[in-house]
Chains A and B, each alone.
Chain A
Amino acid sequence: MSGGSKRYLMKAVASSVAVTSIGVLPLFLGRFQVVLLTEVIIWGVFALSFNLIYGYTGMLSFGQSMFFGAGAYILTYGIIWEFGLPLSLVMVALGGALLGLIVGAVAVRVRGAKFFLVTLVGAILFHLIALDNRWLTGGDDGLLVPLQFRGITENFYLIYGFGLFVGLVTFAIVKSPVGLVFRMIKGDRERAELLGYWTDGYRILSFAIGGAIAALAGGLYGYTTGFVSADFFHWSYSADAVVWTVLGGSGTIAGPFVGAALLTFIREVLSSTWGVVYPVLVGLLLVGLVLGFPDGVVGLLGRISSRYSDKKGADGG
């Protein structure tokens, strides 16, 4: 077996073991930990939406909270208007994709730092509009999601299934011909254009897919908490997605989930003891990782594993 195939197989085995282990964790955890784990999966899905736009297509967007908030409200109104959960989730994905198309079409017109600013301003604008239109959003007070909660464990498996589905779909997309174009654009957009690709079109498409995934995360979060408010649009949600992705490893499927899990874990451990230390520690962790290990935790683990397998190969023969 070639080195590449061996590494691929190792990755597949490690991913399967990790996914299965998470699936059986509720059997051994308390109720609070299961709620936390559910939240981590939702945040992982949300960060994955940013990862598709940034880690695979190379666009540093701060606009993911727009889709997150929109998804939460579409789901809420879907439930209020009695469409049922499955149909409401389809509406959430379609609504997120449509919003992604619109936001993407505007954002790709600008380059570099301006791109980042346009998406950030977009997120702030959406938050302000949501705060002002209380008749629609409930403002700060928000709205209740009128759906009977299924129970903590059942809800976990719903979110777990969704996380798995979204992860697999994203994996299929990045490995597809379209995903290859995304990665080419990240590498060198002008070069991809010279090879005949309408790169702006692909960047908008990346926004649309990322928008659909972020909206689903928002919808699922609203469903899990039973409450949505204008704060779901706050730009700090976008910042969280950036931090989780960079920490876990951008350009990988597992990275956003690992980043979300790690920071949620640190926050929970520290919040009860040294709550003030948490942001400082996260800041230091990020600076250290970006300087020392720009590929994040998953990249670091991958490097260690390939060094180990190379060493083993050399020792063996």
Chain B
Amino acid sequence: MKELLVTRGLGLEIDRKNIIRDVDTSLAVGEIKGVMGPNGAGKSTFLRLLAGELCPTSGEIALRGEDMTSKPAREFNKSGISYVSQRPGPFPDLTVEENVRGAVQRGSLFSRRSVRSKVDTLVDLIGIQAKLGLSARELSYGEMRTLDVGMALASEPVLLLADEPTAGVSGDVADEIITLLKGLCRSNDGRRFGLDGLIFVEHDKGTVFHLADRVGFLREGRFVVEGSPEEVRENRAVVQYLAEHGVD
């Protein structure tokens, strides 16, 4: 299977503490990967490394064979990696429309028509038409998370990294976000904003096993087990973790 993303020996050391240790993993084209693990395991840090927000102290990251390791964060975005961070990311003083336009216009700064058409498509996709004139700070938490996903899709990425995209949002909105992400990865009709891959971190184990093709269980900065949801469910460390967190 063709690899979209590969990491080799990826590590991050801060103040002599290994946050991420020697991670070798990969994501195939069309694959959805869920990352789970206890608090402080390094899940968010792992995604921030893949997004270029943090620079690894060892190892390498390659997207479609291109070495990304020492590139700045903006180059990750330009190469097709987009990131939904754990905290809501819209610019609070800008309107919803300006947030979307700001995310869309990079690369076609002065092509108003193309930007307009892309904004309209994206706004339809995330269903936020009625709120366009509001400032982002006036949105509910769930709407902010939906806007985050929309803004991350604006650059038409091949790979989306989502850090707990449904954390703190109500069940209905969480379902909408999951359905949206799954739809974008599963459509093979060349639709706009379709993704070649998704890596997400999620605390809700139900969501992880439901959405992911492959699951990785991270502990102390290292993948203890990686495999299909069924394989991971049967792993002893995971069983123990799930039992401690009250998940059957």
Which residues of A are at the interface with B, using a C-beta cutoff of 8 A? 2, 4, 177-178, 180-181, 183-184, 186-188, 190-199
Chain B residues lying within 8 Å of A199, measured Cβ to Cβ, are 74
A2 vs B132: C-alpha distance when bound (angstroms): 12
Give the interface size class of chain B: 20 to 34
A4 vs B98: C-alpha distance when bound (angstroms): 14
Supply 5 further A-B pairs (C-beta < 8 A) apart from A191-B85, A197-B106.
A183-B93, A183-B94, A188-B89, A193-B73, A195-B106
Smallest Cβ distance from B114 to chain A, in angstroms?
12
Instruction: State whether the Cβ of B155 lies closer than 8 Å to any Cβ in chain A.
Output: yes
A198 vs B109: C-alpha distance when bound (angstroms): 13
A28 vs B101: C-alpha distance when bound (angstroms): 47
Q: Is the interface of B mostly helix, strand, loop or mixed?
A: loop
Q: Is the interface of A mostly helix, strand, loop or mixed?
A: helix
A-B contact pairs, 7 of them (CB 8 A): A177-B101, A177-B110, A178-B109, A180-B102, A188-B91, A194-B51, A198-B74
A252 vs B133: C-alpha distance when bound (angstroms): 19
Chain B residues lying within 8 Å of A187, measured Cβ to Cβ, are 91-94
Shortest 10 CB-CB distances between A and B: which pairs? A187-B91, A196-B77, A196-B106, A177-B109, A4-B133, A196-B74, A193-B73, A184-B102, A177-B105, A180-B102
Chain A residues lying within 8 Å of B52, measured Cβ to Cβ, are 194
Q: Are B94 and A194 in touch, CB under 8 angstroms?
A: no
Q: Are A180 and B101 in touch, CB under 8 angstroms?
A: yes
Instruction: State whether the Cβ of B217 lies closer than 8 Å to any Cβ in chain A.
Output: no
A2 vs B52: C-alpha distance when bound (angstroms): 41
Instruction: State whether the Cβ of B72 lies closer than 8 Å to any Cβ in chain A.
Output: yes
Chain A residues lying within 8 Å of B94, measured Cβ to Cβ, are 180, 183-184, 187
Q: Are B155 and A180 in touch, CB under 8 angstroms?
A: no
Chain A residues lying within 8 Å of B93, measured Cβ to Cβ, are 183, 186-187
